Structures are given as structure tokens and as C-alpha cells.
Amino acid sequence: MSFPTLKNDRFLRALNREEVDMTPVWMMRQAGRYLPEYRASRTKAGSFMDLCKNAEMACEVTLQPLERYPLDAAILFSDILTIPDAMGLGLYFETGEGPRFRKIVRTEADIDALPVPKAETDLDYVMRAVSTIRHALGGRVPLIGFSGSPWTLATYMVEGGSSRDFRHLKAMAYSQPELAHRLLEKLTESVIDYLNAQIRHGAQAVQIFDTWGGSLSAEAYKTFSLDYMQRIVDGLIREHEGRKIPVILFTKNGGLWLEDMAATGCDALGLDWTINIGKARERVGDRVALQGNMDPAVLYASPDAIRAEVKRILTDFGPHNGHIFNLGHGITPEVDPVHAGVFIDAVHEFSAR
């Protein structure tokens, strides 16, 4: 399938550590509950998953932040838990509690019974959304595809939803590591297929969200999270439509392991706000681009404070190629949309070459 020519490739150029006219910026969860138009779309859809599974509505909410702000990338509107849902676990959302599963994976029999979904058929609604969004963008900005990391997906599957301590999965990892590895291997195979399908349908970069890898010890992180992300990086389509497909790894609270993450062969590392971006760059040098890393809570502050923090982060990164400005995690629902606009405009203003 052919798509319109890309007009703004600032984001892709920065991922490849090439010269840009100004630092590109996008926000994790940029299509979300802080926008009144998103809340209206979700109400119209009936539920979050109904919104995800309707390609036209998923496209509508993906484009909503781009109608408000001069963002440099769009990110597919979906959820990280689509793969476990396609494995038959029954994803649903409880108000105030986040995602839950009707089936929980705890035993050898549970893991053996899990199918490895085929992205083109079992997750075809995601692929329809990707191609619909890519056409609707009209080459305005690149489209980012994404997946949860195997470890992060496993936490929800074994705990049954969100968790404070991940005690069931960690107990499995330490006392029955062969079981944990069997689950992670199935998830890794699924993620590779899922991201490659997104790339074939129009995603121009992909991000792996390792939201809960930072909950692990250093040794366990390498064994149960990073090694599997390495396999995903090795298994991805890295060139499509005559252009390189950059891969971003984001481990929340992963600042201890930047060098190991950079060694996977990814193109960029996402940083949360617990590490200074200048010091992070000193550690990884020019091996990867860096994405981040303003604390999302700064958006609750005054416009002047937001602008000051943007300027500080740009100064800390320095006059180097390879910075994509982002928040250190997703924008939160209570943020004033006007403040998000102040943030985005400040990035472009202060970074203009």
C-alpha cells in the first residue's frame, strides 16, 4: 500500500541522530482524557475497548491532539494489553481500577493453553486502525506504533491487572523461572509479529513500553526483561517503504541500565524524569537518540514554570543531535490542555536552530 509523502520528518531525523531545525516533540498519552474532545469520543464509542476496536474512531482520537498542537509525531491509539486480550484472557476496564482480566495466568497449564495470536487476523482491528490513521495523516507527521514489553504484559496477565508489588509473577520468576521464561517466550513471539504487522500497515517507528521493568533487580531486569526486548529488536523489520524503521525502548525507572539498553541495537531510549538527560547522554554518547524527559506533573505548574523547565532540559541535553522531547511518562487526565500547548510551543521556540 502507498501513502502520501511525509512533510515533517523532524521526529524520524532526530531518531537517526541527524540534524534538525528544532527539537521534535510528542507526548505519551497525547490522545487521552485531558482532552474534552477525547472524552466525548469515548462516551460516543461506549467503552475504551470499543473505541480501540473501531478504526475510524481510533483514527479520530489519534488525530485530535494534532488538531490542537504542532506535534511532530502521532502515536497509534490503542492499548498495551491487546496481545493478552487476543490470547483469550478477557480484557476489561473497571472504573477507577484500570485494566483487569477475566482469566489469570498462574500455572503451567495456564501458560501452555495460551495461543500465540496472529496479528494480521487476531488483532486485525489494530492493523485497520494503523492504515486508516496513516492515510488520514496525509504525510503531516510520522506515525508511531507500539507494544508493551513481554515483562510488562506478563505482570498484568499473572497479577490479573495492575499491581503494587507484582508478587505472583516475581514469585514465579524466582521459584519457577522455567515457567516465567515459557510465558515470556510466547509473549516475545507475539510482540515481534504484532510490531512487524504494524510496520507493514504503515507505522514509521515503533516504541516498546517496558512500564514495569524498573520494578526488577538489576540481575532480574536483564534476565526477564532486557533479554526479551533484545530478541524483539533483533526480530523487527528495520527498513520499510525505502526508509529505516527506528525502534525506541522505554523502561520506566530504567536509568540504572541505559548502557545495557543502548547495546540492544535500538535507535533511541525513552527516559523518565528520575535521571538528568545530560548525564544520560554522557553515559550513552552518540550510540542512541534520547527521548524525554520532563516530569508530567510540571504541566500542573504555571506557564512560566513550564517554559523554564523545558529550557533547563534542552540546556542539559546540549547542542547535540538526537533529542526527541517528551514527558517522562504519560500526560495525566487533570492537565489543562492550554498548559500542554505552552509546553509544546516552548520546545520549538527554545530549540529552534
Say whether 182 is catalytic: no
Of the residues 10, 13, 29, 100, only one is catalytic, namely: 29
Has 240 been labeled as part of a binding site? no
Has 102 been labeled as part of a binding site? no
Q: Which residue reads 516533540 in cell numbers?
A: 25
Nearest to 124 by CA among 74, 52, 38: 52
Please give the DSSP secondary-structure letter assigned to residue 115: -
Has 230 been labeled as part of a binding site? no
- Decide the pairing of beta strands 243-244 and 239-240: antiparallel
Say whether 29 is catalytic: yes
Of the residues 9, 72, 79, 210, only one is catalytic, namely: 79
Beta bridge pairs of residue 206: 145, 247
Distances (CA, A) of 259 to 262, 265, 341: 5, 11, 33
Phi, psi (deg, nearest 5) at residue 78: -160, -160
Of the residues 33, 68, 200, 287, only one is catalytic, namely: 33
Query: For the chain, first and last CA: distance in Å?
Result: 36
Q: What is the Cα Rg of the chain in Å?
A: 19
Cell numbers given for 107: 500455572
Contact 169, 104 (CB under 8 A): no
Contacts 24+ apart (CB under 8 A), 264-270: 264/226, 264/229, 264/230, 264/233, 265/230, 265/233, 265/234, 266/233, 267/15, 267/16, 268/15, 268/322, 268/324, 270/207, 270/326
Would you tell me how many other CB atoms lie within 10 Å of the CB of residue 108? Answer: 12
Has 33 been labeled as part of a binding site? yes
Of the residues 38, 69, 156, 228, only one is catalytic, namely: 156
Has 235 been labeled as part of a binding site? no
d(CA 328, CA 253): 10
Cell numbers given for 154: 506478563
Has 34 been labeled as part of a binding site? no
Has 174 been labeled as part of a binding site? no
Has 329 been labeled as part of a binding site? yes
Of the residues 39, 42, 68, 140, only one is catalytic, namely: 42
Q: Which residues are annotated binding-site positions?
A: 29-33, 79, 156, 211, 329
Active-site residues: which are they?
29, 33, 42, 79, 156
Q: Which residues are annotated binding-site positions for substrate?
A: 29-33, 79, 156, 211, 329
